[in-house]
Amino acid sequence: SEEPPQRELLSPIERAERDGTALRISLKEITKLALQNNLDIAISDTNEVFYQQKLIQAFGPYDPALSIGLGVGSSKSPNTNIATASSVSTFSQFDRAYWNVQFQQNIPTGGGFSYSYNTGRSDTNQAFALFTPQYSVSQTLQFLQPLRRNFRTDQIRSSITLANLDLKINDSQFRKNVTDTIARIQAQHWDLVAAIRDYEIQRESVKLAQTQLENNKMKVKVGTLATIGITEARAEVSAREVELIQAEERINTVENNLRSLISSDRNADIWRQTIVPTDSVDFKEVQISLDEAINAALGNRPELEQVRTRVEQTDVNYRLGQNLKKWQVDFVASIGTVGVAGPQTFDPDGQPRVAPDFVGGVGNAYRTLFSQGLTNWFVGFNVQIPLRNRTQESQLAQLKVQKQQQLMSLKQIEQQIIVDVRNAVQSLETNKKRVETARIARELAEQQLDGETKRFQAGLSENFRVLDRQRQLSQQQGVELQTLIDYKKSAIDLQRAMYTLLEANDFEIAKSSSQVTAAMPKPMGTKNP
């Protein structure tokens, strides 16, 4: 019968290297590349900007305010009173022009102060007006300080504290997203390494079957083997080629999954390149005790940090509610000076009615503002006593219940974290034993194949036994490979459970831009067995 054409046994990586599309990349490099392009992390980055702006907004009430006013006006009325009547007209007229400036500022102790400055000019035709026009100037400084309600805390300070805690929660969530992304990327990376290595195992299995086929042909030719041996060998070659095709398909599937984690842009170069991992599947033992792992997890896990921060927020709201139930006792004080001047217009008996310092123009008004001791001041207290405040009482009761729920949730999360760490440590230990057992099984399979091949060459064994030993070796190589990959994945799961993936991979988060950057290499705390 005709010989079936032999398949080209070039791996996808060898074809990519031949075509120039191979992208050789390490685990650390591919992790960094994926973190820089991950959409979840990009969204978290915009969230940080959002919460930073909320914090800036919370400081808004402390922004100073400056207001300026100016205007002119006139009023005209008939003479109805001898004291205000005009001596030259049947109507009384009053014209006024003014401008003022006021500055206001809240202060972190719950109070505030303001400064106002006013200048005006008025004209009148009233008979008894001493000045016309009259120039008036005044300035006033006012201060208010709560002594009970809003003294230690108030709405502004509470809002700032809550905004800071929101930013802290968002930072924790960002780090969690980074950690979860690293875990997914690295697990997918090792899946690709496993798929590529499995392809090599299947290809070697095909080569062994082809070698056996050639040997059988030689034996049939010299008459030491029946022709059925060739048929059996050809069938085995075809079966193993099918498995090789399936192994290549697994490479393509896993590689596409990894590409999707690296870039969501379908036009990115990564979709036209073949990813070639440069990391080997060598066994590196991770040594850590259960107590160390649990303590690390309880100290690092973002879920705990977020719940604790929410408890802090509840405490802030509770203190604010207690503050709003208190009496309102405010200390108030003000001090101001006035100045006035103008030409004297009324002197019925020829005697001065106005001190000379006040006679003149607007310049005299400014001078008398500081030189004549025309001071106004006030010191006092404003007290407001709430007879009952059911709104705040109800809100405080709700906040107590909310805090109890949060503390119970904290305990529940702690228990779940301990379970996660225990499972991760136990899985790591189990997979370590599997690696050792699989290595022994693979070595025994190699010895069995070697012995069976020698027996077959000496005419003491049959063809199907050699083929069966070859298949057993291929299976044991696959099992050993999978146990190595499972061990590496369980190490990743343990690092994620302890929340140490960033440190274990020498990554740090640059807070100025929420970007993940690679740090200088440092000891990983691992050793070769």
* pLDDT 10s digits, 200-254: 999 988 988 898 888 888 988 888 888 898 898 899 899 999 999 999 999 999 9
Q: Domain spanning 12-55+158-314+397-520: which CATH class is it, in words?
A: mainly alpha
Give the whole-angstrom CA distance, residue 233 versus residue 470: 12
What pLDDT shows up at residue 371?
75
Examine the pLDDT at 162 and tell me if it is beyond 70: yes
Per-residue confidence (pLDDT) for residue 222, from 0 to 100: 87
pLDDT, position 514 = 44
pLDDT at site 525: 38
How many C-beta atoms surround the C-beta of residue 220 within 10 A? 16
Nearest-10 Cα torsion for 212, 216, 219, 225? 130
Of the candidates 470, 481, 475, 476, the one whose C-alpha atom is nearest the C-alpha of residue 440 is 476
For residue 512, name the pLDDT band (cuts at 50, 70, 90).
very low
Q: What's the pLDDT at 264?
A: 78
| Structure tokens belonging to residue 409 | 């949730």
DSSP line for 469-520: HHHHHHHHHHHHHHHHHHHHHHHHHHHHHHT-HHHHTTEEEETTTTEEEE--
Pairing of strands 274-277, 507-510: unpaired
Cα separation, 246 vs 252, whole angstroms: 10
Model pLDDT, residue 520: 34
pLDDT at 250: 95
pLDDT tens for residues 37-88? 877 777 777 888 899 999 999 999 999 999 999 999 888 777 666 555 545 5
Tens-digit pLDDT profile for residues 5-31:
555 678 888 899 999 999 999 999 999
Give per-residue pLDDT as tens, 352-406: 566 666 676 677 777 777 777 788 999 999 999 988 889 999 999 999 999 999 9
What is residue 286's three-state secondary structure? strand
Return the pLDDT at 524: 32
Q: What is the predicted pLDDT for the residue at 364?
A: 74
pLDDT digits (tens, 9 = 90+) for 295-325: 999 999 999 999 999 999 999 999 999 999 9
What type of residue is 520? M
The first and second tokens of residue 45, run together, are: 């980055």
Q: Specify the DSSP element, H or E, that contains 329.
A: strand 328-341
Q: Say what the pLDDT of residue 79 is.
A: 64
**Angle subtended by helix axes 463-498 and 228-262, to nearest 10:** 20
Residue whose C-alpha is closest to residue 20's, from 394, 272, 389, 357: 272
Closest CA to 309 of 155, 167, 418: 167
Percent of the chain with pLDDT over 70: 87
Residue 526 has pLDDT above 80, yes or no: no
More confident residue, 135 or 428: 428
Q: What is the pLDDT of residues 71-130, one digit of tens each?
A: 998 887 776 665 555 455 566 667 788 899 999 999 999 999 999 999 988 887 665 566
- What per-residue confidence (pLDDT) applies to 81? 61
- State the chain's mean pLDDT as an integer: 86
List pLDDT tens digits, range 257-298: 999 888 878 888 889 999 999 988 888 889 999 999 999 999
R_g over Cα of the chain: 44
Q: Among residues 500, 527, 496, 528, which one has the least CA distance to residue 424?
A: 496
Least confident range from 133-137, 181-185, 426-430, 447-451: namely 133-137
Question: What pLDDT sits at residue 96?
Answer: 85
Identity at 241, one-letter amino acid code? E
Rounded to whole angstroms, the Cα distance separating 286 from 489 reads 12
Query: What would the two tokens of residue 328 be?
Result: 């309102």
Q: For residues 481 and 475, what is the distance between their CA atoms, to the nearest angstrom?
A: 10
Domain limits, the chain: 12-55+158-314+397-520, 66-106+112-149+328-385
123 to 75, 98, 127, 133, 358: CA distances (angstroms): 11, 12, 12, 5, 16
In this predicted structure, what is the pLDDT of residue 355? 63
pLDDT, residue 518, reads: 44
The answer to whether residues 48 and 170 touch, using CB atoms and an 8 Å cutoff, is yes
pLDDT at res. 57: 95
